[in-house]
Amino acid sequence: MPAASEAVQAGFPSPAQDYFDGDLDLGELLMPSRVSSYVVTAAGDSMIRAGIFDGDKLIIDRAINAISGHVVIAVLDGELTVKRLSIDAGGQVVLRAENPLYPDIQIHGLADLTVWGVVTWVLHRPSRV
């Protein structure tokens, strides 16, 4: 796919440029580590403030070590979820929704939590059609 060498202005338009850098491999751009990457489809609206909407494709990288602040795919007691990982100074883990209609999920000692990977890209149509 052809790639332009100039950035596209989102404010006032600038004169068109006929400069192209050549082809762009979207697979390489979106999943540089294909061995550790996979795609899932988001369901629901708990992450809308993170720009993740129902039906979006999420690109996940399992090779990235999840840290506090990352949006992650987690398995909590056998159920998959996408949430923002929060770990406080005392080591308390919380999975946070990015929608005020949903409560945070406090992870307690007996909970079975596995982080499957970190969300690196969110793909959706701009018009939400």
Best CA proximity match to 9, nearest among 1, 18, 17, 20: 17
- Which residues are known catalytic residues? 46, 83
Residue 70 neighbours by CB under 8 Å, 6+ apart: 64, 84, 85, 118, 119
Assess contact for 70 and 127: CB atoms under 8 A.
no
**Tokens in use for 93?**
């883990």
Strands 79-87 and 2-4: unpaired
Q: Kind of pairing, strands 71-76 and 79-87? A: antiparallel
Residues 85 and 115 sit within 8 Å (Cβ to Cβ): yes
